[in-house]
Structure 1
Amino acid sequence: MFLMRPISEFDPLSNYQSIDSEVLRTFVAIADEGGFTKASEKVNRTQSAVSMQMKRLEEDVLQRRLFERDGRQMRLTAEGQVLLGYARRILKLHSEVINTLREPQMVGTVRIGTPDDYAMRFLPGILSGFAQAYPLVQVEVHCETSRQLLQRNDLDLSIVTRQPGEEMGQLLRQERLVWTEAEGFAPHEQEPMPLAMFNGDCFCRLWACNALEVSQRAYRLAYTSPSLSAIMAVVSTGLAVTAQLQSLITPGLRVLGAAEGLPQLPLANVMLVRNAASQSPMIDALAGHIAEGFKL
């Protein structure tokens, strides 16, 4: 007679307990936030529930210490560091499985265009959130000036700068251009004033130069580059003044204005332009993430 044997006799792994994905998500949150309190807010659980989850994980499942206290911070032990690497991989795979099966249409490529300054300031957070939600969507980013982007027809989405009255597409935010220079330096006092600006085909450069000419302020284009990081490197060393969106002004720079004899610059409308020939749930989803990421 054939006798059924317990599965544990065939599969040695069956004696090990599994770890729920929500427990792993909580564990990763603690590692990222450095403590139970902030992690509990991130995973929308009480602090006591988070503590109980980790206690069971350490004592009942893994039988290893995962955390050690360092002042007010919770540090990972060596075992905790090992688990963190596995946890991130497991959660990524879990997300891919769910998204692939629930939303099979969310697989493919989306092409977006943006000026370099927006790519540096806004895209990191936008793309990070989008990648977590839709890990199988590939995003191609093309960095060009607004004028160049508006002439292309091969992009699904374009983030461009427009003057008030010349809007097109969806308004993402409205922001003023400002003059800025490095703290502790005064290149604005030089005659003519040295400017560091984007290369010729750029709205910001056009608006800045027009404002200076109308106010009869002498200037020279001392440095030009297609890269915002290059422009800011020049400005941060005190070599020149630049005009950029106020949200791009970093610590160590100060805003200039009428007190320094500089004219007010116009408002800039940041617009999201969609290609009418490109229609897909992937594009809709990324457009939503971009709109959220540009909110003031």
Structure 2
Amino acid sequence: MNTDRRITLGHFRAFVAVVECGSFVAAAQRLGRTQSALTHQVRSLEDILGERLLNRSRGHFSGLTAQGMHLLPHAHRVLGSLASACRAVTKPLLSGRIRIGVMDDFRIQGLIELIANFKAIHADAELTTVSDLSAGLEARLLRGEIDIALIKQVVGPEHSPSAEALCIEQLHWVAAEGFDWRGPEQPLSLVVFHHGCVYRKLMLEHLDRLNVNWHIAYAGYSYHNVRTAIQAGLGLGLMPYGQIPVGCDIHHHLVQKFCLPTLGFSELILRMGSHSVSPVVRAFRQEMMKDLSSTC
């Protein structure tokens, strides 16, 4: 008997639910099943494959095995394809132009997959993507050149996060281990992004208010290049926590009694233009919001 013919969507739903919920109890509640029935289904999948997929400690889920990690993305794709097929039948087909703007440092692979899935349902939709810095994307939105923009905005430490924020990260002053500034008698070396970056603007505004004499040692477009320059010790930089380079330190002061101000945090925001928005743009924005909310 072929193994693949014995595996059902129910097997994949049970397996994915346990991983996403973190426990058999929570997964059973999500699927509206008893815990014993769900446990039986997961064990049935393991028996069919002849591999253990979940690690268990006293009967409780404690993580994926190596085989489970290999299977998980395939299970997600199978269930995602089923959901797409259902939407293709139950939702009206949409057509029209969708112009998307994303930041230069945005991981494009996830967006490419999202566009491919959307096109699989709405074949007549025409999607165009452009990358730019956040300030450039804001300007394009105002001019009506794009319909949707994924941007970053900086929020001060005295404010609360925006309700529309999809992802929030604390900002920090960062420099390589051993980075030294002798004080006001010499310019402070900086590593920054190019003009139009909200991080660059915030950094220079703070230093100017402190009357710090600075010079830009490196200016780049990509996170990779800016991180590399900071790691090499070229200067002080400003980074969200998740992008701090290996081997670098968070700085709260540079020389004795010279304290660096608290920076606040960075928010990821999905914005739409003020011009008339078509149904196809609204539909794609909804899919993009769901995708970003699950990955951030």
Same fold (TM over 0.5): yes
Secondary structure, counterpart of 2:276 in structure 1: coil
1:108-257 counterparts in 2 under 5 A? Answer: 110-117=98-105, 119-120=106-107, 136=120, 141-152=129-140, 153-161=144-152, 171-172=164-165, 177-182=171-176, 184-189=177-182, 191-246=186-241, 248-249=243-244, 252-257=247-252
Cα distance in 2 between the residues matched to 1:158 and 1:212: 29
Cα distance in 1 between the residues matched to 2:287 and 2:104: 18
Question: What's the Cα RMSD here?
Answer: 4.8
Residues 45-102 of structure 1, C-alpha deviations (whole Å, 9 max, x = no match): 665333311444466xx5x52327889666477xx99987875554343222112112
Paired residue type of 2:173:
W
Q: 1:37 to 1:140 in 2, by over 3 A?
A: same
**Shift of residue 198, structure 1, vs aligned partner:** 0.7
Residues 262-293 of structure 1, C-alpha deviations (whole Å, 9 max, x = no match): 54266567454312333324144146437846
Q: 1:22 to 1:253 in 2, by over 3 A?
A: farther
1:82-101 counterparts in 2 under 5 A? Answer: 87=75, 90-101=78-89
Q: 1:24 to 1:290 in 2, by over 3 A?
A: closer
8 Å Cα contact 1:198/1:226 also seen in 2 = yes
Secondary structure, counterpart of 1:196 in structure 2: strand
Paired residue type of 1:186:
F
Paired residue type of 1:116:
D
**Shift of residue 236, structure 1, vs aligned partner:** 2.5
Length, aligned pairs only: 266
**Shift of residue 199, structure 1, vs aligned partner:** 1.1
1:1-20 counterparts in 2 under 5 A? Answer: 19-20=7-8
Percentage identity across paired residues of the two chains: 19
Q: TM-score, normalised by structure 1?
A: 0.65
Cα distance in 2 between the residues matched to 1:290 and 1:90: 16
Secondary structure, counterpart of 2:219 in structure 1: strand
Residue 65 (str. 1) matches residue 63 (str. 2): no
Structure 2, unpaired ranges of 5+: 58-62, 157-161
Structure showing greater radius of gyration is 1
Q: Which has the higher mean CA deviation after the structures are superposed, 193-202 or 251-260?
A: 251-260
Secondary structure, counterpart of 1:91 in structure 2: helix
